[in-house]
Amino acid sequence: MKRREFLAAVTRGAALAGAASQVSLPASASESAPETSQEQVGVLVDTTKCIGCRKCEYACARANRPAGADVKEFNDMSVFDAPRRMTPESLTIVNRYDNPQNPERPVFVKFQCMHCLKPCCVSACIVGALHRETNGSVSYDAGKCIGCRYCMLACPFEVPSYEYENIYTPAVRKCTFCYDTLQARGEAPACAQMCPTNCFTFARRDELIQLAHEKIAAEPKTYYDHVYGETEAGGTSWLYLTSLPPEELDLLALPDKPVPQLTESLQHGIFKFGIPPMLLYGLLALAKKVSAPE
Ligand code: SF4
Ligand code: SF4
Ligand code: SF4
């Protein structure tokens, strides 16, 4: 942790100590999250079709830009020289990977919030600023957020980022699944609409899983035999087809069991007995480490 981040964490920890006595714990994610249903939507990402054009990144930046802000085309391909992480300005990113099967054709993978079925971020948030919608989108309410950033520690996919540069109204940022805008009108997310090679299929999650397995069966030489997100961390709304083993593409090998049950019991127990929030940071980090694969 950088010095600035450490100081921010201490400050937020002190603020949280006061806030903790005033808040009531939301219902736990593992108790309240609906199981997969016909309402549950998702996106199937076929990484074998991706050409690394970054149009999806551009579409996301446009969809989430502040009112009146201009967004230039994303033409800089030097960004692929090193792996990137999501930031408050980049809610989705595409990374490039070597392809041992075909060195002339690298593999590109788009990352964003996975919109988990049992989201750890929701269970870790003590004020209910993160919420799982009935269609599977995980929404964020900046008005409720107290900036504790437990969600960032809890997320097994290391997705949420924080607006450290925004000193007045800092917020947690992550992909919204375009829930309040496009999905509300029954449309696919902005990133999925702009892809020129149709990497994305937006549909009901159960249909996507069936489609993914059909594609694997039809083209076993093209696809690695695994639908990433079908079971990882309890299942996710964003699902991936890959040509290589997912862990070679930074799609983390995670246990099938949802992690929230562990973080919830720690969090609820700690606040019940008044243990200081800074200790909770350490325990949540430990819980995440313990739940991670070797
Ligand atoms: S990927 Fe992380 S931020 Fe997104 S829903 Fe899952 S736990 Fe929450
Ligand atoms: S679903 Fe919307 S917010 Fe999420 S990565 Fe795509 S465009 Fe961005
Ligand atoms: S728009 Fe489609 S082809 Fe272009 S980088 Fe994104 S996922 Fe890949």
Each residue of 151-165: pLDDT tens digit?
999 999 999 999 999
Give the structural domain span for 154: 3-32+116-174+259-291
Gap from CA of 191 to ligand 3 centroid (Å) = 8
Average pLDDT over residues 105-114: 98
Q: Check whether residue 107 and residue 200 sit in a common domain.
A: yes
Q: Ligand 2 pocket test: which of 91, 113, 140 has the largest number of ligand atoms within 8 Å of its C-beta?
A: 91
Q: Check whether residue 263 and residue 212 sit in a common domain.
A: no
Q: Check whether residue 105 and residue 206 sit in a common domain.
A: yes
Confidence tier at 7 by pLDDT (50, 70, 90): very low
Report whether pLDDT(19) > 80.
Answer: no
Evaluate whether residue 254 is within a structural domain: no
Q: Check whether residue 153 and residue 129 sit in a common domain.
A: yes
63: region left, alpha or beta (phi > 0 left; psi from -120 to 50 alpha): alpha
Report whether pLDDT(267) > 80.
Answer: no
Report whether pLDDT(262) > 50.
Answer: yes
- Give pLDDT, residue 257: 83
Average pLDDT, the chain: 84
**Radius of gyration over every alpha carbon of the chain, rounded to an integer in angstroms:** 19
Least confident of 1-5, 126-130, 244-248: 1-5
- Give pLDDT, residue 263: 60
Q: Is there an atom of ligand 2 within 6 Å of 136 CB?
A: no
Evaluate whether residue 202 is within a structural domain: yes
Q: Is there an atom of ligand 1 within 6 Å of 155 CB?
A: yes
Gap from CA of 251 to ligand 1 centroid (Å) = 14
- Give pLDDT, residue 140: 97
Q: What is the pTM of this model?
A: 0.82
Give the residue from 75, 74, 78, 77 showing the smallest Cα distance to 90.
Answer: 74
Closest ligand 1 atom to 160 CA: 3
Confidence tier at 25 by pLDDT (50, 70, 90): very low
Evaluate whether residue 79 is within a structural domain: yes
- Give pLDDT, residue 9: 42
Please list every protein residue whose CB sits less than 6 Å from any atom of ligand 3. Answer: 50-56, 94, 108, 110, 195, 197, 199
Alpha helices, DSSP H only, in 104-232?
120-124, 150-154, 190-194, 205-218
Report whether pLDDT(278) > 70.
Answer: no
Closest ligand 2 atom to 177 CA: 1
Give the residue from 126, 190, 193, 114 showing the smallest Cα distance to 155.
Answer: 114
Going by the DSSP 8-state scheme, the letter that residue 274 receives in this structure is T
Evaluate whether residue 271 is within a structural domain: yes
Q: Check whether residue 52 and residue 103 sit in a common domain.
A: yes
- Give pLDDT, residue 68: 84
**For the chain, how many residues are written?**
294
- Give pLDDT, residue 213: 98
At 142, give phi and psi (nearest 5°): -60, -25
Comparing 26 with 51, which gets the higher pLDDT? 51
Relative to beta strand 107-111, strand 93-97 is antiparallel
Least confident of 25-34, 90-99, 157-166, 199-208: 25-34
Q: Measured between alpha carbons, how far is 194 from 29 in angstroms, rounded to an integer?
A: 32
Contacts of 151 (CB under 8 A, 6+ apart): 120, 121, 124, 125, 129, 130, 160, 172
Q: Which ligand is nearest to the CA of 136?
A: 1
- Give pLDDT, residue 159: 98
Q: Domain holding 159: CATH number? A: 3.30.70.20
Q: Check whether residue 134 and residue 21 sit in a common domain.
A: yes
Closest ligand 3 atom to 108 CA: 8
Confidence tier at 8 by pLDDT (50, 70, 90): very low
Gap from CA of 182 to ligand 2 centroid (Å) = 10
Q: Measured between alpha carbons, how far is 162 from 174 in angstroms, rounded to an integer?
A: 9
Q: Which ligand is nearest to the CA of 196?
A: 3
Q: What's the CA dihedral at 161, 132, 12, 254 to 10 degrees?
A: -60
- Give pLDDT, residue 72: 87
Q: What whole-number percentage of the chain has pLDDT above 90?
A: 68
Confidence tier at 12 by pLDDT (50, 70, 90): very low
Q: What is the 3-state secondary structure (H, E, C) of 40-80?
A: CEEEEEEHHHCCCCCHHHHHHHHHCCCCCCCCCCCCCHHHH
Evaluate whether residue 217 is within a structural domain: yes
Confidence tier at 281 by pLDDT (50, 70, 90): low
Q: Check whether residue 166 and residue 244 sit in a common domain.
A: no
Q: Is there an atom of ligand 1 within 6 Å of 208 CB?
A: no
- Give pLDDT, residue 264: 62
Evaluate whether residue 275 is within a structural domain: yes
Number of domains in the chain: 2
- Give pLDDT, residue 23: 39
Contacts of 96 (CB under 8 A, 6+ apart): 52, 80, 106, 107, 108
